[in-house]
Chains A and B, each alone.
Chain A
Amino acid sequence: MKKNKLSPYLYILPAMIIIVAFRFIPILLSFVISFFDWKLTGVEDFVGFANYTKLFTDAEFIQSMTNTIWFVVMVVPATVLISLLFAVLLNNIKWLRGFFRTAYFLPYVTSMVAVSIVWKIIFQQRSGLLNFFLEGIGLEPLRWLQEDQGIFSLLFNNFGITLPDWMGGPSLALFSIMIVTVWKSVGYNTIIYLAGLQNIAKEYYEASSIDGASKPRQFFGITLPLVSPTTYYVLMMTTIVTFQAFSQIYLMTGTPAGGPNGTTSLIVYYIFEAGFIDLNFSYANAIALVLFVVILLLTLIQKRLEKHVTYE
């Protein structure tokens, strides 16, 4: 092969131009912008850390962050557990496996916009499918996306216990959004888990069967440790994606979005609101960078968890 010193650079040039212009520079710029009062036309004033210190006193930011933490803490484990359950069940059958796999995967290829519109109507109080179903089995209809009361409060109210506000938990409206988010992502992760499960050598199960290990024993002793690389991957990816939930908030809540009473405002929606509705680019960017740091820290913590991952 001819050696030409310049040609490799020509090959990477088209990709690099785009990536530098629309990824690299914006990423660097995002740090810069957050220290200024930046208008669309350019720099206005250097404000130092003002955009960051403002975060501590911004009740809306604190609420969005709290909502987001609830969201991630509930959606991620639910997604991981349900995906694993689906995958284990699917791995145990032959007949109709392809059919179920397709059914579970379907939500993944459909757009969040369309899915949100459909679910918003499913959650409707008067003509929604869920309340129709609840009334059908003789239960009280719920207010779903309109309910700003915490789910723990609602739960304990049924037993006549009134919880203090801070123990109320995320609102039922946010919980409804969580249901949609889990529903949308479970199929994709099931496929990944299924591949992980099928990667485990059959010999382990055969050997342990001979030793008389029960099915649950096999699950906790063999399946769970050996599928842990997949768990690690699913956990990382789901966490990163869940932090960035936006479309479902934009379409299912409101008006204004993020309601009722700001209980469904998630951090990326708040970035959108601060940046593109209030036109406060610098502040919005500071929030985005805080989000980035949070995601980065969690990724690093999860990286440490990788030590406990069993690679065959």
Chain B
Amino acid sequence: MKNTPFGIVIYTLLIVMGMVMVIPFLWMINTALKDQVEINDGNIGFNWKNKFTYIKKDGEKMGINRALELGDSVLVSTYTIDGELITHPENINKKMAYQIDYNYRNDDGTIEKRSKEVVLSDTAKLEYIIVNKDDIIKGSYIRPVFSNFARAWNKVPFALYFKNTIFVALMVLIGVLFTSSLAAYAFARMNFYGKDFLFYLLISMMMVPQPIYLIPSYIVLSNLGLVDTYFALIVPWIANIFTIFLFRQQFKTIPQELFDAASIDGCSMFGTLWRIVLPLSKPIIATASIFSVIGSWNSFMWPLIMTDSKHLRVLQVGLSYFSQDSGTETALLMAASTFSILPLVFLFFLAQKQIIASTAKSGLK
């Protein structure tokens, strides 16, 4: 296929589409490494030089949002350099007209007092000040700016969110492996009354979408006084029908001779599960574990609804509140997004083969 015109077309298409898939992530990192001042300046592209304009007033650096030249003076809307917006005391209304008095230097050097009516739009939450032209500093420095990561991390308790997420994911994982291996073992290797019925009941419940049981689950948990606890985040998820199904398929492939041999050697049912079945099923356990962790890590709607206290927030919920509270601080948002997807991206690269292979298998019957 190589070196043919057809091959070139294929590679071009793949590269273009690959860029569409990857550029949002690259831009996320690119923005996370920028200074907020630069972003507000409209300098948002992929570049390594960090351009900025700011003013010095009373020794303090201030970023410029918009500037309007009035002779020697410049009317600027500002915010402090670390990205916090200054709220104007009177909260300037949109489209408010301002009377600005300023010094105008004539061509012959004489100074004349002038005044001008200026209409400021979109100015809510910004402070306008008049500064001398000489106070405006333009410059550039080389990125990257790493401080956004630390600032985002410390602005809200992300460390706690990570701790909660890891705790919930681990508990769910342990629970799922425990309940699924036991149940799957019974469904795969034992005969009991109602087995088929129960199994089909499970399979049909797997098809029910989450919005159906979300509200009743909330009502049930709320009446048990368990809403807004770790219990609500963990326990409803420690049995996973899909994992039971997956394990059952695997356990069925283990030859009967092994069970007979174990039985002759006096191994109990549970001993057989622990010493023979589970060690032989390591790959499928690894796969189920990876998908369980991905599921817990990325789950959002459930923890959003089931918890309210700040100390119970998991990463996705914390990140969501963070994005609502710091909506204008692009650099911080991107930094927070970056470190919250990093652990799973790392896990993905670590277990890439397994993840892709089992995803591929899920479509083949």
Tell me the complex Cα distance, A126–B20, Å: 21
How far is it, in angstroms, between the C-alpha of A8 and the C-alpha of B319 when the chains are bound? 43
Find out whether the CB atom of A244 lies under 8 angstroms from the CB atom of B24. Answer: no
Q: How many A-B residue pairs have CB under 8 A?
A: 276
Q: How far is the CA of A109 from the CA of B296 in the complex (A)?
A: 12
**B222 CB–A CB distance under 8 Å:** yes
Within 8 A of A (CB), among B178-215: 178-180, 182-183, 185-187, 190-192, 195, 198, 201-202, 205, 207-215
Cβ distance A135 to chain B, nearest Cβ, rounded Å: 10
Task: Pick from B104-112, B132-140, B231-239, B279-287 the stretch touching chain A.
Answer: B231-239
Q: Give min CB distance, B309 to chain A, whole Å.
A: 16
8 Å CB contact of B185 from A11, A19, A101: A11
The answer for the CA separation of A30 and B216 in the assembled complex, in Å, is 6
Taking residues whose C-beta sits less than 8 angstroms from the other chain, chain A's interface range is 35 or more
Do B319 and A16 touch across chains, with their CB atoms under 8 A apart?
A: no
Contact A292 B340 (CB under 8 A): no
A23 is contacted by which of B208, B268, B334, B361 (Cβ under 8 Å)? B208
Give bound CA distance, A2 to B39, whole Å: 71
Q: Which of B14, B269, B364 contacts A195 (CB 8 A)?
A: B364
CB distance from B224 to the nearest CB of A (A): 9
Residue B128, interface by CB 8 Å:
no
Interface check A226, CB cutoff 8 A? no
Q: Are A193 and B363 in contact (CB under 8 A)?
A: yes
Is B21 an interface position by the 8 A CB rule? yes
In the complex, the chain A residue whose C-beta lies closest to that of B304 is A250
Instruction: Identify B236's interface contact among A2, A22, A117, CB under 8 A.
Output: A22
Which residues from chain B contact A132 at a C-beta distance below 8 Å?
A: 44-45
CB neighbours of B198 from chain A (8 A): 12, 16
A residues near B28, Cβ cutoff 8 Å: 118
B-binding segment of A73-81, A153-161, A165-173, A228-236: A228-236
Q: Compute how far the CA of A184 lies from the CA of B215 in the bound complex, rounded to whole angstroms.
A: 27
Whether, in the assembled complex, A251 has its beta carbon less than 8 Å from a beta carbon of chain B, the answer is yes
Which of A48-56, A142-150, A268-276 lines the interface with chain B? Answer: A268-276
Residues of A within 8 A of B45 (CB): 132
A281/B239 in contact, CB under 8 A: no
Q: A302 on the interface (CB 8 Å rule)?
A: no
Q: Could you tell me if A188 and B359 are in contact, using CB atoms closer than 8 angstroms?
A: yes
- Distance in angstroms from A145 CB to nearest chain B CB is 12
Question: Across the interface, do B209 and A244 meet the contact criterion of CB distance under 8 Å?
Answer: yes
- In the complex, what residues of A have CB within 8 A of residue B320's CB? 113, 250-251
**Interface assignment of B356: CB less than 8 Å from any CB of chain A:** yes
Contacts A92-B10, A281-B215; A243 near B209 (Cβ below 8 A): yes
Known: A19-B241, A196-B364. A12 touches B269 (CB 8 A): no
CA distance A123 to B180 in the complex (A): 43
Q: Pick 10 A–B contacts, CB within 8 A, sort by A.
A: A19-B205, A93-B1, A109-B294, A109-B348, A111-B297, A111-B298, A118-B24, A118-B27, A124-B330, A275-B215
* 9 closest A-B pairs by CB: A195-B360, A192-B363, A26-B216, A18-B239, A11-B186, A22-B236, A8-B192, A26-B213, A15-B183
Interface, chain A (partner B; CB < 8 A): 1-2, 4-5, 7-9, 11-12, 14-19, 21-27, 29-30, 33, 38, 40, 42, 86, 89-90, 92-96, 100-107, 109-115, 117-122, 124, 126-129, 132, 183, 186-188, 191-196, 199, 215, 229-230, 233-234, 240, 243-244, 246-247, 250-251, 268, 271-272, 275-276, 281, 284-285, 288-289, 291-292, 295, 299
